[in-house]
Chains A and B, each alone.
Chain A
Amino acid sequence: MTAFLTLFHKELLRFWKVGFQTILAPMVSTLLYLLIFLHVLDAHKEVYPGIPYTIFLIPGLVMMAVIQNAFANASSSMIQSKISGNIVFILLSPLTYQQIFYAYVLASIARGLLVGLGVYLITLIFFDIPLHLPLWAILFVVLGSAILGALGLIAGIWADKFDQLAAFQNFIILPLSFLSGVFYTIHALPTGWQYLSHLNPFFYMIDGFRYGYFGVSDISPYVSLVIVAICLVGISIIAIRLLKMGYKLRH
């Protein structure tokens, strides 16, 4: 247990020590999105009955910040350790591959939640945001950040260079999060796009998270929960298997 707690603590310190760049900067950019969208779009149009666009947008942005930072945390920690070579200290130690997995993923959840909570608290100053079912919101935000933490771990293990990781981030994570209904409800989309959105696992994270706020969602939160849970289990199994095999870590 001490070994796992130490690695978890180290992973927390790693981003905390550069918190300006790992927590504050993403908070600022998320709030900039909010500012811009509110000025450009019709903020008073109601998305759901009684829920104007502004309020609808905020949980989406919070979740997007969580997703992107959870991914960034595990992936950048892993690739930095691999490229600088200091991953060797973890590989030489008696840490089990499960302990390594849980430490990286939990630290990613922590960073995702910190950024998300920061954005949420700041928006609370300016807007009156309902939070009808906080447990649902917490459930989805934790599961979502865990999925992205595990995915980040996989990407960090797989990538040999920073540009490969950047490609993973720019061509997979970013489009999936932008096209998941962060900025809109999928009912506003043409049918074809609606269908495609249902194939995007990020859609269920965000829709379920919104359900926690408003008590309404595009699809049933139970369906979202099952799909998100299956994603988490599947991605976790892959990540743990890669660690167990020593894929790109032990030759």
Chain B
Amino acid sequence: MLPALEIKAIYKSYGRFPVLQDVSLAIQSGEFFALLGPNGAGKTTLISIIAGLTLATSGSVHVMGYNVVTHYQNARLNLGVVPQELVFDPFFTVREILLIQSGYYGIKQNTRWIDEILARLDLADKADANMRSLSGGMKRRVLVAQALVHKPPVIILDEPTAGVDVELRQTLWEFIKQLNRDGHTIVLTTHYLEEAETLCNRVAMLKQGRIIALDTTQNLIKKIPHGHTVRLRLQPDVLPHELKHLQVSCRDGTIELHLESYQQIEWVLASLRTAKIEVQEFRLQQPDLEDVFVSLMKSDRSDLQ
């Protein structure tokens, strides 16, 4: 089947400075995909190229089979983008903005769908408020609504939850998950790795303009080479000599140990018992996307790909 989004060998440089280098990626219809990477990794540039806001130096992008440069009208009809910047048109109310936005996509009558979007994003009571009078979080919701007026099969959200309160994050993700269940392909960038972990089935990590990892979220976590982290609170607050080499850090009375395998837990607890040290708190941390992310960002080359 034709991928919903196909990115082929994209290069982009500003002058001599390369921003994206040989980025290739295919996202299938119905996927919930995350694009991760530190600031300056090229995520927003890549999204801008997909959206046609930026022209790639070389390479091609297809949205639902349409080239974003040569068949830009069809490509854009199939794409909804939530920009990262909180931009708005101060001349209009929320409803006017959404009607205008619908018109740009050739939709004359869109009241029913607009009402539904407004309700789903908890914006219904702000429908007739001027954009200027809205708070930042509200403006963010309108941006999401604007990207959805034409029910695009592919929806891209560039850090939609940056600087947004917890409540909105929940509302927003519920809505996006629903859209994904309805068959929309979702691509997001986020700084909150736990969001990518709980929501997305596949992840690409970008570093300095290159994809350094591309796999399902589960596989990425499985592939992480290092072991487990144990956090302990002890009474008295000292570690027996034979455990010292496991210690990673000690902060505010919490000792962090690094274990290679689960089998070591037994031995750690036995050593503590022998030394008559009481365990007051014991937490075993599962590796998560953040660990993968951190380890990949630290290493220069990765064998995970």
Which residues of the other chain, A, contact B79 by a CB distance below 8 angstroms? Answer: 92
Residues of chain A within 8 A of B88, CB atoms compared:
84, 86
- The answer to whether B104 has its CB under 8 Å from any CB of chain A is yes
In the complex, which residues of chain A have a beta carbon less than 8 angstroms from the beta carbon of B107?
2
**In this complex, what residue of A is CB-closest to B87?**
A85
Total contacts A-B at CB 8 Å: 80
B103 x A2 contact (CB < 8 A): yes
Query: B54 to chain A: which residues have CB within 8 Å?
Result: 250-251
Nearest chain A CB to B83 CB, angstrom units: 6
B73 and A96 contacting across the interface, CB-CB below 8 Å: yes
A3 to B100, CA, bound (A): 9
Question: In the complex, A43→B90 CA distance in Å?
Answer: 45
CB contacts under 8 Å to B, within A126-144, are none
Q: For the complex, is A219 an interface residue (Cβ under 8 Å from B)?
A: no
* 9-residue interface stretch from A6-14, A157-165, A174-182, A227-235: A6-14
Is residue A94 within 8 Å, beta carbon to beta carbon, of the partner chain? yes
Complex contacts, A93 vs chain B, CB 8 Å: 76, 101, 104-105
Shortest A24–chain B CB gap in Å is: 17
Given contacts A89-B146, A250-B52, A251-B48, contact A7 B87 (CB under 8 A): no
**Chain A, interface size: which category?**
20 to 34
- A88 contacts partner chain B, Cβ-Cβ < 8 Å: yes
The B197-228 residues at the A interface (CB cut-off 8 A) are: none
* Min CB–CB distance B107 → chain A (angstroms): 7
- What residues of chain A lie closer than 8 Å to B105, measured between beta carbons? 3, 93-94
Q: Tell me if B51 counts as interface (CB < 8 A to partner A).
A: yes
Tell whether A91 is near chain B: CB-to-CB under 8 Å.
yes
CB–CB A7/B104 < 8 A: yes
Min distance, Cβ A229 to any Cβ of chain B, angstroms: 31
B91 touches A90 (CB 8 A): no
Q: How far is the CA of A10 from the CA of B106 in the complex (A)?
A: 14
- The proximity string for B residues 44-74 relative to A, scoring 1 for CB distances below 8 Å and 0 otherwise, is 0000100111110000000000000000111
- The reply on B241 being an interface residue by CB < 8 A is no
Bound CA span A234–B104, Å = 28
Inter-subunit contact B73/A6 (CB<8 Å):
no
Query: Which residues 79-107 of A sit at the B interface, judged by CB distance below 8 A?
Result: 81, 84-86, 88-96
Q: Output the least CB separation between A100 and chain B (Å).
A: 10
Candidate in B54, B73, B77, B104 with the most chain A CB atoms within 10 angstroms:
B104
Most buried by B among A7, A17, A90, A91: A91
Set B72, B90, B104, B146: member contacting A6, Cβ < 8 A:
B104
Partner of A88, one of B76, B87, B96: B87
Are the CB atoms of B87 and A86 closer together than 8 Å?
yes
- B 86-110 binary contact with A (CB < 8 Å = 1; else 0): 0111111000100011111111100
Chain A nearest CB from B295 CB (Å) reads 33
Q: Is the CB of A10 within 8 A of B87?
A: no
Evaluate whether A92 and B51 lie within 8 angstroms (CB atoms) in the complex, with A2-B107, A6-B103, A84-B89 already known.
Answer: yes
User: Known: A10-B100, A92-B76. Contact between A3 and B51, CB under 8 A?
Assistant: no
A5, A90, A246, A251, most chain B CB atoms within 10 A: A251
The answer to whether B289 has its CB under 8 Å from any CB of chain A is no
Residue of B nearest to A77 (CB): B91
Shortest Cβ distance from B110 into chain A, in angstroms?
11
Tell me which residues across on chain B come within 8 A of A86, comparing CB atoms: 87-89
Shortest distance from the beta carbon of B99 to any chain A beta carbon, whole Å: 8
Chain A residues in 8 Å Cβ range of B83 = 85, 88, 92
Q: A90 contacts which chain B residues (CB < 8 A)?
A: 104
B81 within 8 A of A: yes
Contacting residues, chain A, for B55 (C-beta < 8 A): 246, 250-251
Alpha-carbon gap, A2 to B110, bound state (A): 13
Bound Cα distance from A31 to B88, whole angstroms: 36
Q: Pick from A6, A18, A85 the residue with the most CB of B within 10 Å.
A: A6
Contacts A2-B103, A3-B105 given: A14-B85 contact, CB under 8 Å?
Answer: no
* Interface residues of A, Cβ cutoff 8 Å to B: 2-3, 5-7, 9-10, 13-14, 17-18, 81, 84-86, 88-96, 246, 250-251
